[in-house]
Structure 1
Amino acid sequence: MSKVKYLGIAALLSGTALSLVACGNNKAQNNEDADHNKFKEAVAKKAIKKGGILNYAIESDSPFTGIFLPELSDTSTDSEVASPGQEGLFQINDQYKINNNGAATFKLDRKAKTVTIEVKKGVKWSDGKQVNAKDIEFAYEIIANKDSKSQRYTASLADIVGLAEYHDGKSKTISGIEMPDGENGRKVVIHFKQMKPGMLQSGNGYFWEYAEPYHYLKDVPFSKLMSSDKVRKNPLFYGPYRVAKIVRGQSVTWERNPHYWRGTPNFEKVSMSVIGTNSVTQAIKSHKFDVAGVINTQWDNVKKATDTNFIATVPLSYNYLGFKVGKWNKSKGVNVENKKSKMDNPNLRKAMAYAMNIDAVAKRYYHGLSFRVNTLIPEQFGNYTDKSIKGYPYNLKKANQLLDKAGYKKKGEYRVQPNGKKLVINIAVRNNSSTAEPVWQNYIQQWKKIGLNVKFVGGRPMDFNNWVQDVQNDDPKIDVFEGGWSLSSEPSPNDLYNEAAPYNMARFVSPTQSKLLANIDSEKAFNPSYREQAFKKWQKWMYDEAYVVPTTNSYSVTAVNKKVSNWSLKPSSNNWFNAGFTK
């Protein structure tokens, strides 16, 4: 499955999709001030009664887009809103490894270069129709058909035989997706050009982990899917719940899916509604919601809330600073770096990173629940993380030295470019919490200390949806942007940063990097020690080049009403089926 989403506020993702995130409530580890030793990952299991309405907070300062189709949605807020109904094909364990306990079974044959997926009998759409082979294949058509405008088509998925030909309009079918028992059978065999070591992990990017109802959507042209009522108002799911009512951008009421394959979920209904980040703490204290993400900047005000359990996890995510050095070539589907662009100087990029007082900001604004990260592979990935990389700790002296060395001379208050031209750096910042403006005003002041004139694009932090649009579309006003990734549970960074990755929004391209990324996902990397070293070499290259600089991660803290039992943040959890109100 494609591996990112833009970090959305308070996103509690299962790690099976990568997403762009508007993260206002980023969360912490390795920090003496944090209360994290008090946190558990799940609330205690108690006897559960059937029934009741669970009130769930969707924390966002913008309306959700409501694209209930993971092939077309790329914000984690949409994923969160869809989660009561949107179940993946596979169950995973707490290390994100695929097992056969989910809606479909999975079998990898390295020699034959195939993955066989078989949907279990009785797994039905919320209209009662069995999920079949065509539904699995159809999801690939949505991703690969250019008319759908999906962001999910990647070089990794193009490892499937015939997918590129379908994408390019050279074939009307995907030759490498075989349905041995026909379209109405339950089995699909996917043929790959080469097998990859990450294929046993969920979120690996080489095959998709959802199905879509072909019988329901087949009459909707691909170009109309994103706006169709069948996607926006009346979507079908095979998860525990189905949509009862949608107030566009604001709320969704879910009712039990009578055809759910595992049985009857405990809650009678789930009511999800949008709440602005400034109102979250009061809503938790007054028990307006049974489940709500804690805004970390508000932790001191909320931590004493009564009749509330606080559980937490360090999510697979990071925030970062990205430097625009090129553009996306739409016709060729590749990033093109411009070696003459304003930010195409590693010393300038590193100087900006060293001037950021991230540790002080984490302490002041995030109450010890946020922490600086040093590398682009989170430490949850164990030996794949290069712990020898120290990142860019606050060091103004080093920042000044780097700029002097690169020829950025002072001319009055600010530095000029090496060619003597004026240097103004325009930064795009997400308005994702009440602290976004003061935090980034602080960084702008820090950059001023080293002679860099940095300004907000548009004069202030941006509405999240506008930020997504402008950063994705390479708005020429943007020189630098801050962002966040909610990552896939398979650690390969290929779909984020390769030459053909739309999500490589810094737009940097390097033959060296292409080789390093290829090594991570090569046949040789089925050998764990080879793969470890390949990961570390890529991290070191990224650290040296600094096209993308990781900044922070934080604890994701969730407030759960004490009357809710069995709610868990573990990767293997299935809250929408297992959780319920206590007797």
Structure 2
Amino acid sequence: MKKKSLLLMLTLLLVLSAFLAACSSGENAEEPAENDTETETPDDGTEDEGSEDDEASGEAQQGGTLTYGVDSAPEGLFNWAFYGIVTDADILALFDEGLIQYDENLAPEPNLATWETEDNQTFTFTFEEGVMWHDGVELTVHDWVFALETIADPDYDGPRFANVQTIEGAQAYRDGEADSISGLNVIDDYNIEVTFDKARVNNLVNVWAYPMSRAQFEGIPVAEMSASEQVRTKPVGLGPFKVDSITPGEAVIMTRFDDYWKGPANLDGINVQVIDNTTTVGALGNGDIDMISLQPVNGEEVEALDNVEVVTYPGLSYYYVGFKLGTFNSETNEIVEDKEKYADVNLRKAMAHAIDRQTWIDAFFFGYGSPVNGPVPSSHWIAADPEELATYDYDPEKAKELLAEAGYEDTNGDGFVEDPNGEEFVAKFSHYATGNPTFETRAQAIVQFWQEVGINAELEMAEVNLYYDMIEKDDPSIETFFGGWGTGADPDPTALWGSDQLWNYPRYKNEESDKLLADALDIEIVGDDQEARKDLYVEWQKMIAEDVPMIFIAQLEEIVALSSRVENVEYDVSGANSPHEWSIAQ
């Protein structure tokens, strides 16, 4: 392909994306995280009309039902221990909550529990008394122990053992060498002592902080929990709203939980509606939904609506193209470097230089994103200065030079390089499919960037709810793949990059990387010096940028559309405030 034709293709992509927005496409399918059917909107239940005095005083009005839109069907794993995609997490946050919450600086604050520690190894947690599950059973520390033991159980099929394994005795419990986790010492129903295997800076914010109802899961084997009705259709939580009904793939209906420990919420209820992703803009304009996370393609058109406010806030997520460098042995929890196709770092660098990230971002993210050069978004406090990182700006000639250095040359004159052994080389690129046509278009653009520098490439679209399962299980069809990750309140990226971690999707294995990540958590090395910790993370980011286990593409702002009748919803880098505080103007 000639350069002129590539530029023409990108111009057409810009036109296509603008056309989709202008036609109210609403292609706002949730990115998997780590993430479509249309359904009727239930009655909004606004029998409580409020008063002029409420409005004048600025107090939240009581009553009304908020319709919360999602344009991608949830996977249906409505328990924190088992969920896998962003849509499910967003719904969970409406009816369940954890022991810890985070402020606008991502610092931990007590929620359902307070804590004390003298050495960052042993913590004493004290639970709020009188906190009720939605089934009327009181929360105790035993529910937290139950959650931790569930995640540490060898039959647990979720991905969150990384948040439990640092508790003393958790690994022995997982390996079947102990009947309990030795680091959990229950003092009474409201107090528990938790001892970790060593003092770390982030023991508090890394530990799994979401209890599970023992009463609800009684008698259900761990291996069957994720498929149970307690997770799928009849979940109970601790939040301000309780789930009344779930229609899989269509709706989750919630009503106010009057025994919520902070007092009744302002709203009567929240109805989560899955809308067809071609109707997002229309649904907002018609008042059919009150609130929805937007993809950038919809931003400009939604901003033009008189009855809707578009809110943006700093994002902590990034998008990338990953390379499969090995496989994960789930029995030994270790990465095996058994894939050679993309082992040459110069090949990976060439493929990075081939992508015009800025043009790609302009075409598909409409001013709501920017290029990112490493595994930490620039809004996070540990982010390295871009000048400190190896960067891979769009440079087709450099890409071709690197390919030649690595022995990739066109030996048969077909315009595409063969591998160093003279064999046909085809880069297979995978992307998730949601029904959003721009997703396939943007994926094809990356394929064409590679083809422009002489790399034969093919695109495979995989159904969204199967996609990350294929990546986790190292499906042989996955070679290079598009994905997105987010950094949490704690910057420790071990769960995504450690050599013993399931969520290390590229299967990047590097002892020096593991050591830097461990040192950044070691009290004896960094103490409470945040700058010392950041310095180690910066060194780690330099290593990742140099090794290119993935091509870092874009970081985005978070975008939310709110109906003009929605009040008392606020956002900062930690996300939204509690739905307990939300209200609707009557």
Aligned-residue offset at 1:91: 2.6
Residue in 2 that maps onto 1:551: 553
- Unaligned 5+ runs, structure 1: 1-7, 12-18, 23-43
Question: 1:95 and 1:108 mapped to 2: Cα distance?
Answer: 21
1:159 is matched with which residue: 163, 166, 173? Answer: 166
Letter in 2 for 1:344: A
Residue in 2 that maps onto 1:481: 481
Aligned-residue offset at 1:237: 0.8
Does 2:65 correspond to 1:53? yes
Residue in 2 that maps onto 1:443: 446
Aligned-residue offset at 1:198: 2.4
Residue in 2 that maps onto 1:3: none
1:20 is matched with which residue: 7, 30, 33? Answer: 33
CA deviation profile, 1:76-121 (whole Å, cap 9, x unmatched): 1111122211111123211121123x1211223316x212221111
Does 2:200 correspond to 1:193? no
Does 2:560 correspond to 1:561? no
CA deviation profile, 1:517-559 (whole Å, cap 9, x unmatched): 2222222123223212111111011011001221112122111
Residue in 2 that maps onto 1:397: 397
Aligned-residue offset at 1:218: 2.1
Residue in 1 that maps onto 2:406: 406
Residue in 2 that maps onto 1:542: 544
Question: 2:57 and 2:366 mapped to 1: Cα distance?
Answer: 29
The answer to whether the 8 Å contact 1:71/1:150 transfers is yes
Question: 2:142 and 2:422 mapped to 1: Cα distance?
Answer: 61
Residue in 2 that maps onto 1:103: 112
Residue in 1 that maps onto 2:534: 532
Letter in 2 for 1:525: V
Does 2:583 correspond to 1:580? yes
Letter in 1 for 2:526: A
Residue in 1 that maps onto 2:6: none
Aligned CA RMSD, in angstroms, stands at 1.9
CA deviation profile, 1:389-416 (whole Å, cap 9, x unmatched): 2632211111111111111112321101
Q: TM-score, normalised on structure 2? A: 0.87
Aligned-residue offset at 1:572: 7.0
SS in 2 for 1:542: helix
Question: 2:57 and 2:337 mapped to 1: Cα distance?
Answer: 53
Question: 1:572 and 1:427 mapped to 2: Cα distance?
Answer: 32
Residue in 1 that maps onto 2:232: 232
SS in 2 for 1:197: coil
CA deviation profile, 1:11-55 (whole Å, cap 9, x unmatched): 7xxxxxxx8242xxxxxxxxxxxxxxxxxxxxx994322111100
Residue in 1 that maps onto 2:310: 310
Letter in 1 for 2:199: M
Residue in 2 that maps onto 1:147: 155
Aligned-residue offset at 1:573: 4.6
Aligned-residue offset at 1:279: 2.1
Letter in 1 for 2:284: I
The answer to whether the 8 Å contact 1:378/1:385 transfers is no
Within 5 Å, give how 1:380-391 maps onto structure 2: 380-388=379-387, 389=389, 391=391
Letter in 2 for 1:231: V
Rate the CA distance shift 1:116–1:45 in 2: closer, same or farther, 3 A. Answer: farther
Question: 1:563 and 1:193 mapped to 2: Cα distance?
Answer: 50
The answer to whether the 8 Å contact 2:390/2:542 transfers is no
Does 2:98 correspond to 1:88? yes
Question: 1:275 and 1:390 mapped to 2: Cα distance?
Answer: 42
Letter in 2 for 1:447: W
The answer to whether the 8 Å contact 2:471/2:505 transfers is yes
1:74 is matched with which residue: 72, 84, 102? Answer: 84
The answer to whether the 8 Å contact 2:258/2:265 transfers is no
Rate the CA distance shift 1:130–1:292 in 2: closer, same or farther, 3 A. Answer: same
Larger Rg: 2
The answer to whether the 8 Å contact 2:390/2:546 transfers is no
Question: 1:175 and 1:59 mapped to 2: Cα distance?
Answer: 44
Within 5 Å, give how 1:359-378 maps onto structure 2: 359-378=358-377
Letter in 1 for 2:501: A
1:116 is matched with which residue: 115, 121, 124? Answer: 124
Aligned-residue offset at 1:226: 0.9
The answer to whether the 8 Å contact 2:318/2:553 transfers is yes
SS in 1 for 2:386: coil
The answer to whether the 8 Å contact 1:96/1:572 transfers is no
Q: TM-score, normalised on structure 1? A: 0.88
Letter in 2 for 1:424: V
Question: 1:53 and 1:150 mapped to 2: Cα distance?
Answer: 33
Does 2:221 correspond to 1:221? yes
CA deviation profile, 1:235-271 (whole Å, cap 9, x unmatched): 1111101111110122100011122000010110100
CA deviation profile, 1:156-207 (whole Å, cap 9, x unmatched): 63221110011111111111111011xxx1111110111211245xxx43x1
The answer to whether the 8 Å contact 1:104/1:117 transfers is yes
SS in 2 for 1:271: strand
Aligned-residue offset at 1:561: 0.8
The answer to whether the 8 Å contact 1:336/1:508 transfers is no
Aligned length: 532
Question: 1:318 and 1:211 mapped to 2: Cα distance?
Answer: 29
Aligned-residue offset at 1:208: 0.8
Residue in 2 that maps onto 1:331: 331
Question: 1:556 and 1:365 mapped to 2: Cα distance?
Answer: 15
The answer to whether the 8 Å contact 2:429/2:447 transfers is no
Of the structure 1 ranges 387-396 and 505-514, higher mean CA displacement relative to structure 2 is found in: 387-396
Question: 1:422 and 1:482 mapped to 2: Cα distance?
Answer: 23
Rate the CA distance shift 1:391–1:274 in 2: closer, same or farther, 3 A. Answer: farther
The answer to whether the 8 Å contact 1:391/1:543 transfers is yes
The answer to whether the 8 Å contact 1:58/1:81 transfers is no
Question: 1:390 and 1:579 mapped to 2: Cα distance?
Answer: 44
The answer to whether the 8 Å contact 2:243/2:253 transfers is yes
Question: 1:164 and 1:262 mapped to 2: Cα distance?
Answer: 36
